[in-house]
């Protein structure tokens, strides 16, 4: 059973504030109806359901939330948000929690984090995702060398993946986009 103490001085109120500002979510808007969790396609794998994650933030239980796998498992499918009666942008909140956790080097789902990084690198380099590289590097960096390798020939002959990257026309434009975003984030 989780034990929570409320009313103590010096709780990390500013983290809650940062999360709210970054995500544009007002935590008090949530009245815990549970519609988000009921419709979430990955809720079965989550340690905290989206509703529980918000509840713990309402009770200022930041540590447990930052350690949770939930924000990493969130597929950002937006199903929760479009159905939420209070229009709470839960995927934005998940992203904010993920960033906050990463800043503190709390990464409960390391493979997912690696995949995210590889994916972004990929897009930065080629202007779009190159699946072969992504799959290859993902297997190499995570150490799951032969994960899904059996699918590769079938994908190749069905022309779903190719050896050479398909580069977009304005590659430098995408790079600039990345730069600007990073600059903005640094501010």
Partner 1 sequence: MRRIGVFVCHCGSNIAATVDVEKVVEAAKTFPGVVYAADNKYTCSEPGQEAIKKAIAEHNLNRVVICSCSPRMHEATFRKTIADAGLNPYLLEIANIREQVSWVHTDKEKATEKAIDLARIAAAKAAKDEELFTSTIPIEKRALVIGGGIAGMQAALDIADAGLQVTLVEKESSIGGKMVMLDKTFPTLDCSACISTPKMVTLSQHPNIELMTYSEVTHVGGYIGNFEVTIKQKAKFVNHDICTGCGLCETKCPAKVTSEFDQGLGKRPAIHKLFAQAVPNKPVIDKNSCLKLTTGKCGICSKICPVGCIDYEDKDKEVTKKFGAIVLATGYELIDWTKLYGEYGGGRYDNIITGLQFERMVNASGPTDGKIVRPSDGKTPKSVLFIKCVGSRDVNKGKSYCSRACCMYTAKHAHQVLEKIPGAKAYVSYMDVRTPGKGYDEFYMRTLEDGAVYVRGRISKIYPEGEKLISLGEDTLSNSNVTLETDLVVLETAMVPNPSAEKTAAMIGVGRDKDGWLQEAHPKLRPVETNTGGVFLAGTCQGPKDIPDTVAQASAAAAKVIGLLYKDELETNPMISKVDPQKCAGCGFCIEVCPYGAIELVDFPDRYQGKKIMRKVAQVNGGLCQGCGACTVSCKPGAIDLLGFTNLQILEEVDALCR
Give me the residues that bind partner 1 (CB under 8 A), please.
1-9, 26, 28-29, 31-32, 52, 55-56, 58-59, 61
Residue with tokens 């109120």: 13
Cα–Cα distance, 142 to 139 (Å, whole number): 5
Looking at beta carbons only, is 67 or 144 nearer to partner 1?
67
**Smallest gap from residue 85 Cβ to partner 1 (A):** 12
In the structure encoding, which two tokens stand for residue 168, read together?
């977009």
Q: How far is the CB of 63 from partner 1 (least distance, A)?
A: 13
Least distance (Å) between residue 70 CB and partner 1 = 13
Q: Return d(Cα 177, Cα 174) in angstroms, integer.
A: 5
Q: Which one, 8 or 169, has the nearer CB to partner 1?
A: 8
Rounded CA gap, 112 and 42, in Å? 14
Nearest residue (CB) to partner 1, 5 versus 158: 5
Residue 85 or 153 having the CB closest to partner 1: 85
> What distance in Å separates the CA atoms of residue 1 and residue 150, rounded to the nearest whole number?
44
CB of 184 to partner 1, least distance (A): 29
Residue 121 is given by DSSP the state H
Q: Give the closest residue to 18 by CA, choosing from 104, 95, 96.
A: 96
Angle separating helix axes 90-103 and 13-23, nearest 10 degrees: 130
Minimal distance in Å, beta carbon 82 to partner 1?
A: 21
Q: Of the two residues 34 and 41, which places its CB atom closer to partner 1 in the complex?
A: 34
């Amino acid at each position: 059973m989780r034990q929570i103490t409320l009313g103590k001085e010096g709780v990390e109120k500013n983290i809650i504030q940062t999360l709210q500002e970054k995500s544009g979510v007002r935590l008090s808007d949530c009245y815990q109806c549970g519609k988000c969790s009921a419709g979430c396609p990955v809720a079965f794998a989550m340690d905290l359901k989206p509703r529980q994650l918000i509840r713990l933030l309402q009770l200022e239980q930041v540590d447990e939330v930052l350690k949770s796998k939930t924000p990493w498992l969130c597929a950002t499918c937006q199903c929760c948000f479009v159905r939420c009666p209070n229009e709470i942008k839960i995927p934005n909140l998940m992203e904010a929690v993920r960033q906050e956790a990463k800043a503190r080097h709390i990464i409960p789902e390391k493979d997912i984090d690696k995949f995210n990084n590889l994916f972004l690198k990929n897009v930065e380099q080629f202007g779009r995702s190159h699946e072969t590289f992504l799959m290859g590097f993902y297997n190499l960096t995570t150490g799951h060398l032969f994960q899904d390798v059996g699918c590769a020939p079938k994908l190749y002959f069905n022309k779903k993946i190719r050896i050479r990257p398909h580069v977009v026309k304005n590659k430098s434009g995408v790079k600039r986009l990345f730069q600007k975003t990073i600059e903005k984030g640094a501010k």
